[in-house]
Chains A and B, each alone.
Chain A
Amino acid sequence: MAYSPHTAADHERMLAAVGVDTIEDLFADIPPAVRAERFDVPPPLTEQEVRAEVTRLAYRNALPRISFLGAGAYRHLVPAVVGEVIGRAEFATAYTPYQPEVSQGTLQSIYEFQSMVCELTGMEVASASHYDGATATAEAALMACRLTRRDRIAVSSAVGAQTRAVLRTYCSGPRIEVVEVDADLADGGSGLTPVEAATAVLDETVACLVVAQPNFFGGIEPMRELADAAHDVGAQLVVLVEPTSLAILEAPGAAGADIVTAEGQPLGIPLSFGGPYVGLMAARMASVRQMPGRLVGATRDAAGRKGYVLTLQAREQHIRREKAASNICTNQALCALAATAYLTAVGPEGLREVAELSMLQARHLAAAIEGAGLGKRRFAAPYFAEIAIRIPEAARVHAALAERGIVAGYPLWDDYPQLEDTLLLAATELTTDAEIDALVDALAEVAA
C-alpha cells in the first residue's frame, strides 16, 4: 500500500510475535461462504500518476468565466489566511475533542465560533456545527417539535427547494407533517411570505414556522410580524439566515426568532461543488437541553487554569443512545474553524463591507438589466444581494450565455413552475462592474 511503514522484516517480526505464519491466518475468522469473490479496483498509482488523474478531472470542469450563481452557495473572497489556519495539521488531523487536555486548540476555537454565531444572530447559545444549512434547519424544526410537543411544521415556500426537501425527508422519520405557506409569487408581487398566509396555516398544532431571511429570492421578510404570528399560537419561529447579511440586517434574535440556522459557506469556505460546508444553529438558553449537536463550554482544571470541554453531553447519542436529541456525531468542525478565522480576518468592518458591496452590486446588476430593457425584476420587495429577474426566453438565453462562459444565475422554473422565464441572480463583493457590463452585453446579443 501507498503509505505502509513496514519492511519485510517488520512483517516477519510482527507475525512471529502474534504467533501466526501468514497474514491470511488473521482473516481465518471470515466464513469461507462470504469471503470476497472479487475486488476489481484499478491498480495502484504513484503520486505523479495520481496527480495527473486528478488534474485531468479538475480540468474537465469548464469553470464559467463570469457567474451570477448563488441560490444557497456564494462566490466570496476566501482570505489566504483562512486557508492557512485550517491547513494546520494540528487542527485538520485531530478528531472530536474527547480528551480535552490535548484538544484545547479545537475546543477554544469552537467556543469562539459559538460566541461569534451568537453575536451575529442575537441568540444566546450556538451549537458547534451541523452538516449544512439545510440539515441544520431540519434539525431546528425537529427541535421545535420537541420543545412544543407538537407534530406539524409550517414552512414558507420562499425557503429554498433543497432546504424544504431536506426538511421533508427529516420530518418523514418521526412522521411530522410539513405544511407549506405560499409566498406571494405573482408577477410584480412582493416575493415575500404574506403574514396572512402564515396566519391561515398556523394553529395550536403547529410547532414552528420556518422562514428564510433574506428569503430564497433575496427578499427581506417581515420578520417581526411573522414572529408574532407564530408566537400567537405558541409556535416557534425558525429563521434560516445568510450570514454575511447579518452585518447589516437586524439580528433575528432581536426580531423574535426562537431558533436561527444558517449555511455558513459564505464565511470563508470554497464552493467545492457543494461541500463540505457548515450548518450554523443558535437558540435561546432556555431551549438548550433540546438542542442537537455538540456544545463546548468553559471550565477550569484543579490548578485554576481555564479550559474548555464538550458539555451538556446528556443530550447526545453516545450517552443517551435511543433517547438522544439527535444522532449527530461527526459534524463540520474544520469548516466551523474556517468561519471563525474568516470572521476574525474581516472583522465587523470587513463583514459590513462584504454585505454592502454585495447589495450594491446586486442593485447595479438589476438596474443595468432593467435599464437596457433586457429584463425586469419579478418582485417588488426590497432585496439583499440576490434578485429574481424575468427575461424573455430565459431558458434559451441561459443556455446560450453558458456557452459563452457566463452563468446567468439560477433558473427558477424547475423549483417554482409559476416562475417561468425567471432567473435568480446573485452578486457578491467579487462581482465587478466589468462582469455586469459583460452580462448585459451578452444578454443583448443573445436577445437580438
Chain B
Amino acid sequence: MSVAERPGTAAADPSGRGAAFASPAAGEELTIVEPLIFEAGAPGRRGVRFPAATDAAREAAAGQPDLPASALRAEAPRLPEVSELDLLRHFNRLSHLNHAIDLGFYPLGSCTMKYNPKVNEWAAARTGFAASHPLDPASCAQGSLELEWLLAELLREISGFAAVSLQPAAGAHGELTGMLMTRAYHRSRGEGEQRTRVLVPDSAHGTNPATATMVGYETVTIRSNERGGIDLGALREALDERTAALMITNPSTLGIFEDQIDQVLAAVREAGAIAYMDGANLNAILGRFRPGEAGFDVMHFNLHKTFSTPHGGGGPGAGPVGVSERLAPYLPGPLPLLVEGDADEVRRNAWAGRSTPNARFALEAADARPESIGRVRAFTGNFGMFVRAYTYIRSNGDAGLRAVSEDAVLAANYLRVRLADAYDLPYDRICKHEVVFSGRRQKRQHGVTTLDIAKAILDHGIHPPTIYFPLIVEEALMIEPTETESMETLDRFVDVMHGIAAQAEADPDALKRAPTSTPVGRLDEAGAARRPDLRVDFRATASAETGSE
C-alpha cells in the first residue's frame, strides 16, 4: 500500500486506546484499526540518541581511508521518526490485537501451546548469557558451553539417543539436518545413489515431504490403516533397497501412538533404511517412550513445544537432533565438548548445583569429524532457547516431566470423551496429547464448515484448534489442550464447542458471519494473494503526495 491511502485512520479509533476497542464506523470506506508506524511521527522526531564522537576520535581517524562516494547511499532510508512513547503505544496497541497463551486457551494442535514459565525468561536475560559473544575465547564462555553440554546430556537421556546436536534452529531445520545425515550415512556405505526414496505416512506434517525434496529425495506416501496407524502391509511393500528413510511422527498427527512401532522399526531396519522420528509430539511420551532406545536413528526435538520456550508469534524455536551411534559421525558441528574432567562427575555436580573445578569445555574443532554434514547455521544454535529449555527441564525434573506427559494425555482424552457426542471422532481410541475430531457432520447436515466452527470459537476468546490437518481427516479439528490448562478451562471449552454444535443446527448462518468480536472479521485472503501488497511503497506515496503519477 502507499501511506497516502489513509482515510479514516483517526476516525476508526476515537477512544485512542487502539484497535481492539474500536468498532468500524458506519459508511467508512476503509477503516484502519491501528495505523502503520510509518504514518505516525514527524520529520526530525526521534527516540534513542547516541553520543557525539569525541574530537580525539575524529582526529585519530582522519588519516584512514574514506568510503568512495560511489558506495554511499543517495538518500536516507525512510524509517519511522517517532518518539519513544509513540513507539511503545504503537506496539502495545498492536499487541492488543493478538491472542496469546498468556491471554487465553490456545489448543492449537501439533503446536503444544503450553504455559511458558516466566523464570525461563528471567534465566535467558542474565547478563552472563545475554552478553556472551559466540566467538568469545572458550575461557570466557565456560558457562555457555557447560549449559549447552548439560542440555545435550539431558536431551540424550530424555530421548535415549547416543548423541545430540543443538544447532538446528527449528523443527523443520532439524528435519533437514536429519535427512542430510541420512544421505551421508547411505553414501558412506556405497548406497547413496541407490537409496533415493523417503517414505512418509499420509498423516505427516508438510515439512516432512518438503524436507525430503530439499535433500533431493523422492517422497513416497504410505497410507494409514483404519485405526489411524501406519499400514504395516503398505509399509513393507514400499520398503526396499531404494528406501533411504521412513519419516514418522509418533504419536502421529492423529494423536495416536503407533502401537506397532516395534514392528515398524524392525521392518525399516531390515530394509537397511534410516528411521526418522518427527519429535513434534514428544510432549505426550516423556519418561514413557525413548525413541533412541526403541530403535529410531534420528529425531528432532522442538524446544518451543515440549520444553516450553515461547513461540514468539512464529519463532524463534529450536530444533536439536538426537541420533543413534551409526549416525553420530555425521552430526553437524561444532559440538560443545567436555575436554577436561570426568563426565559423570560434571553431571553429578551440576545436578547438585555445583561447578566442577577442573572441568573445561570447548567447541569441537572445525575438522574434528570429517564425516560431519557440516554446519546448518552460524554459531551453535538458538542459545537463548537452550537457557529456557534447560531451566524448564531442571524445574520439572524427572517426576515433573513424566507428569507433564501424563497430564497432557489426560487432558486430551478428557476432551475426546466430553466432545464425542457433538463432533465426529474418526479414530475413537485412547489418544495421546491431542485428539482429532471431524466437522463433517456439521458440514453435511447444516452446511457449517470447520472453518466456520473455528471462526465461531474466536468469538469466545479461545484460539481455535488446528484445522484441516491432518489431511486424511475430513474437516479436521485437531485439539491439543496441553497439561497446563485447568479443568475449568477445559470445561468451558467443552461448553463452547457444544454451544457451537447446537448453533450449527439452530442458526447456521450466524456461524458463517463469525467472528464478530475480533478487531477484524474474516479477511479476503484470495484477494491478498491476487494483488500482493507486501510492503509500504514509499515511492508511490511520494508521487501521490506531489499529485504526480
Contacts and interface: CB of A to CB of B under 8 A. Distances in A.
B139 to A, nearest CB: 6
B407 interface: yes
Contacts of A47: 119, 395
Interface in A156-205: 160, 162-163, 165-166, 168-170, 172-175
A101 B122 contact: no
A26 B257 CA distance: 11
A426 B77 CA distance: 24
B169 A132 contact: yes
B366 A414 contact: yes
A363 interface: yes
Nearest to A296: B534
B399 A44 contact: yes
Query: What size tier do the contact residues of chain A reach?
Result: 35 or more
Contact of A367 (B60, B88, B312, B314): B60
Contacts of B315: 129, 276, 330-335
Interface stretch (B235-243, B321-329, B380-388): B380-388
B131 A361 contact: no
A105 B97 contact: yes
Interface stretch (B268-276, B412-420, B440-448, B498-506): B412-420
B98 A331 contact: no
B172 A330 contact: yes
B524 A274 contact: no
Interface string B197-233: 0000000011101111111100100000000000000
B126 A1 contact: no
Contact of A306 (B30, B418, B484): B30
B71 A249 contact: yes
Given A88-B91, A129-B315, A133-B378, A44 B80 contact: no
Determine the interface band of chain B, counting residues with CB < 8 A from chain A: 35 or more
A328 interface: yes
B320 interface: no
Interface string A127-163: 0110111110000000000000000000000001011
A335 B316 contact: yes
Contacts of B381: 274-275
Contacts of A418: none
B518 A59 contact: no
B47 A344 contact: yes
Contacts of B64: 363, 366-367
A401 to B, nearest CB: 10
B475 interface: no
A311 B78 CA distance: 25
B135 A71 contact: yes
Contact of A90 (B98, B141, B374): B98
Contacts of A44: 394-400
A429 to B, nearest CB: 5
Given A90-B102, A101-B523, A112 B289 contact: no
A287 interface: no
Interface in A83-111: 84-85, 87-106, 108-109, 111
Interface in A346-378: 346-354, 356-357, 359-361, 363-364, 366-368, 371
Contact of B413 (A18, A104, A277, A429): A18
Given A51-B119, A317-B206, A73 B135 contact: yes
Contacts of B157: 38-41
Contacts of B285: 30
A273 B76 contact: no
B358 interface: no
A446 to B, nearest CB: 15
B472 interface: no
A275 B389 CA distance: 14
Given A6-B487, A93-B101, A105 B211 contact: no
Nearest to B18: A105
Contact of B108 (A2, A59, A95): A95
Given A61-B140, A72-B378, A272-B129, A172 B180 contact: yes
Interface string A387-401: 000000000001100
Nearest to A133: B378
B297 interface: no
A118 interface: yes
A262 interface: no
A254 B170 CA distance: 33
B335 interface: no
Contact of A288 (B79, B180, B532): B532
A135 to B, nearest CB: 5
B310 interface: yes
Contacts of B411: 14
A4 B403 contact: yes
23 contacts: A1-B404, A41-B154, A42-B351, A56-B143, A60-B128, A61-B132, A72-B378, A81-B48, A94-B99, A104-B97, A106-B98, A115-B36, A169-B332, A247-B77, A273-B383, A275-B385, A299-B533, A311-B525, A317-B206, A349-B44, A367-B61, A367-B64, A402-B139
Given A301-B522, A312-B532, A407-B136, A1 B403 contact: yes
Contacts of A75: 131, 133
A302 B522 contact: yes
A125 B80 contact: no
Interface string B428-444: 01100000000000000
B87 A301 contact: no
Interface in B138-188: 139-144, 146-147, 154, 157-158, 160, 169-173, 175-176, 179-180, 183
Contacts of A62: 139-140, 142
Nearest to A42: B351
Contacts of B426: none
Contact of B314 (A128, A352, A360, A384): A128
B137 A311 contact: no
Contacts of A29: 256-257, 259, 429-430
Interface string B95-110: 1111111110010100
B67 A382 contact: yes
Contact of B209 (A92, A125, A322): A322
